Each structure stands twice: as C-alpha cells, then as structure tokens.
Amino acid sequence: LVGVKRVIDYAVKVRIAADKKGVELANVKMSMNPFCEIAVEEAIRMKEAKTATEVVAVSVGPKQAQEQIRTALAMGADRGVHVTTDLRLDNDLQPLAVAKLLKEVIEKEAPDVVLLGKQSIDGDCAQTGPMLAAMMGWPQATMASELTFEDGGATVERETDNGTEVIKVGTPLVVTADLRLNEPRYAKLPNIMKAKKKKIEAIDAASLGVDLSPRIEVLEMNDPPVRAAGIVVEDVTTLVDKLKNEASVIA
C-alpha cells in the first residue's frame, strides 16, 4: 500500500492568500507530492521483482485527488483508494488525522508494507509515517535511500544527519521514501489510457469515525522579508573592514 498526496506543483511560485491563513490554491497547478512519487516507484519495483503481489495507491483529499491516484495507476499501481474530504490538505488536514485515516484503510486492506513519502512539500512535517507506525505497532524505516527484502524482513539504508545507517526490520512495516531511493518513471501513453479503467474505491472520511480536527491553527502567514541587495567592494581590505565593522561577523 502506497500513500499519494495532492500538493502544489514543485515548480509553481507559491503565493500567500489574501486572508493570510494559507497559500493560494485557486487556479494553481497541482501534482503528486515528489516524495510520494518516489514511494509509488519503489512499490512498483517491488511488484516487478515479485516482492509484492499488488500495489494499492491511497490518497486522502477532495475529488480532485483522483488525478494523483490516476497518475499512480498510470505508473503501474493496480488499484486506488480515495478517502474523500473537503478539508484543505496544506493546513486543515494534519498528519495525525491522515495517519488515523490510513490506519483504517490498512486494517481493511491488510498490507505487509506501507510506503509513504518521507514528507510533503507543502507542510514539510515528516510526521505521518512515524505516527502511522506507532498507531499500528509496526516497525518503521524512515528516510529510506535503499530498500531490499529477504528472509521475511527488510534491509533499509536510511539517510541521517551524520550520513547513512543500515537497519534490518521485520514485516509488516512502514517505510518513508527519501530522495535517493530511486528515480520515478514517466507514465507511458498506453498506461495512462489503461489507468482510466482501473478501479478507484471512494470512502467518505466521515464514515471512518476519525476525528479530523486540526491540532494546530495558523494565525498568520507572510512572505519572508526581501533580502537587501549585495554590494561589490574594491579590494580585500574594504571587504574585511565591512565584515568587521558593518556586518560584525568577524572580530
């Protein structure tokens, strides 16, 4: 089972909404979260290697989130599950609520491996995977840069602040994908056409009995201050003088 999130496309210049409670979503290009795309690619590779028998793409969000599920299906996923809600995905639907919803889907689907992106590029929380693993009582391998399965378990190389580490974990487990895990494929036109016929099951989030209330309230959102223009100095002596007396970055 692989998670897929709908986010503002990474190449779009984000604009603060007029009410300063979030970013502008109207008439903005939306795409699959890049880390989720990596997770989908890894799930498909697992199926191609006969490690997995089926790939189920799950997304939580409005009806438009079916677009991202269809993208996953075009890449090679077998079927989709769409948990429908009209809550904003960047502010109102927060990681704890998403983890609870995914837990309900997992209990129904009974997968051996859950693959998620390590974080989404809108909230950058990196919390859904660890929360989900804790709720399920499963081992977790976060920020995975390499993943192999053997002897009923998995060997995972993880990105850390100090480099990488290799761990061995049993299944079922939750894995969150880091940037270096793989390079996602582009969906071919025949597969895009086939994806239109693949099944997507819709589940109303309200029917799952999960409290989706946000735990964090955004009071105000503002653009970062504009950086002052730099200057060109004539020589090293002038540079040192300005660093010492104006910038106060050297003694």
Chunk the chain into consecutive blocks of 10 residues (it has 251) and report each block's average pLDDT, rounded to whole numbers: 96 91 90 97 96 96 96 97 93 94 97 96 94 97 95 92 94 96 94 95 96 91 87 91 86 74
DSSP 205: G
Q: Where are the beta strands (DSSP E) in the chain?
A: 2-3, 6-8, 30-32, 56-61, 79-84, 113-117, 140-150, 153-160, 163-170, 173-177, 200-204
Beta strand pairing status for 163-170 and 153-160?
A: antiparallel
Return d(Cα 216, Cα 193) in angstroms, integer. 41
**Rounded Cα–Cα distance for residues 4 and 8 (Å):** 13
What are the φ and ψ backbone dihedral angles of 192, each rounded to 5 degrees? -65, -40
**Could you tell me which residues come within 8 angstroms of residue 180 by beta carbon, excluding any fewer than 6 positions away?**
145, 146, 159
Question: What is the pLDDT at residue 151?
Answer: 83
Residue 86 CA to residue 204 CA, distance in Å, equals 10
Up-side HSE of residue 61: CA atoms within 13 Å toward CB?
23
Predicted local distance difference test score (pLDDT) of residue 226: 87
Q: What is the pLDDT of residue 249?
A: 85
Residue 206's pLDDT is: 94
**Is the separation of the CB atoms in 171 and 113 below 8 Å?**
yes
- Short-list 211, 187, 213, CA closest to 57: 187
Q: What does DSSP assign to residue 234?
A: S
